[in-house]
Amino acid sequence: MSVKLATWNINSVRLRINLVERFAAQYAPDILCLQEIKCSDDAFPLKQIKAIGFDHVEVRGQKGHHGVAICSRLPLRRLESQDFNGSGHARHVAVEVEPGGAAKPIALHNVYVPSGGDVPDPDANPKFRQKLDYLTAMTNWFSGQGDSAANRFVLVGDFNVAPLETDVWSHKQLLKVVSHTPVEVAHLASLMGSQDWIDVARQHIPPEERLFTWWSYRSRDWRVSNRGRRLDHVWVTPPLAQGTSGVEVVDVARDWEKPSDHAPVIVEIDT
């Protein structure tokens, strides 16, 4: 069975529920992982989400900030919500997905990594320190989750790190800009090693090709300037790697009225 999975930093689910409805109607994902929902659990627009076919929903919300949700047409079982660095922020939720048929369950983790502020110095900027600590804590936690050769794990979300030179509009100009600094890239590489994760987008789209998922609101014409970064990711453990396909960054969503500054990313996984 093939599962169509999408991840999207929606930047307020209540403000942009019409965009979620439009995306679901046009692209029909089986599972939609949202980040930065910016609402508490009880304020999440559950009625509207279920009306578009997502009967199974798990939310880890926070009033006005952060927050993640997994919306699915397939049965889910909530596993946990980790506070990786003890900040009290709602940034992670994990579920077990039942693909159906003879397929074994998949552990799906949806995460929103702290952005890190503006100054890439952990001593001068507590937000940057928090980001590095969060990535380190994630790495340590996943390192303790058993054998990557046996685990059927998927990790998606807004990692707020663009690791490759072609994941940013200008490698040289962004080396000292938060999201592409060498220390962040090194932390992300350590996280990748924690379960021998495979970066699905770069599994199918050559690393020599520029690929972005985020464009700043500050750009008047984002398509013309194309000063983007690839901050949104889908990773899988080795047992699922050969079954991935259909990678797509839905950048047209960035043209919709009052859009998120992130575009959805779609991947199909043969379970």
CATH number at residue 65: 3.60.10.10
Please choose, from the candidates 235, 233, 240, 224, the residue with its C-alpha nearest in 3D space to the C-alpha of residue 262.
Answer: 233
Q: 191 is in which domain, residue-wise?
A: 2-270
How many structural domains does the chain have? 1
pLDDT at 252: 98
Contacting residues for 25 by C-beta, under 8 A, at least 6 apart: 52
CB atoms within 10 A of CB 137: 17
pLDDT at 85: 86
What count of Cα atoms within 13 Å lies in the side-chain half-sphere of residue 178?
20
Q: What is the dihedral of CA 109, 69, 11, 124, to 10 degrees?
A: -50
> Is the distance from CB of 230 to CB of 213 less than 8 angstroms?
yes
CB atoms within 10 A of CB 271: 19
pLDDT at 203: 97
pLDDT at 89: 95
pLDDT at 94: 98
One pLDDT digit (tens) per residue for the chain, 271 residues? 899 999 999 999 999 999 999 999 999 999 999 999 999 999 999 999 999 999 999 999 999 999 999 999 999 999 999 999 898 999 999 999 988 877 899 999 999 999 999 999 999 999 999 999 999 999 999 999 999 999 999 999 999 999 999 999 999 999 999 999 999 999 999 999 999 999 999 999 999 999 999 999 988 799 999 999 999 999 999 999 999 999 999 999 999 999 999 999 999 999 8
pLDDT at 153: 98
pLDDT at 147: 96
Unique residue bearing structure tokens 């054998």: 147
Rg of the Cα atoms in the chain: 17
Contacting residues for 82 by C-beta, under 8 A, at least 6 apart: 92, 94, 141
The pTM for the full model equals: 0.97
Look at strands 31-35 and 2-9 and give their pairing.
parallel
CA distance 235 to 160: 14
pLDDT at 186: 98
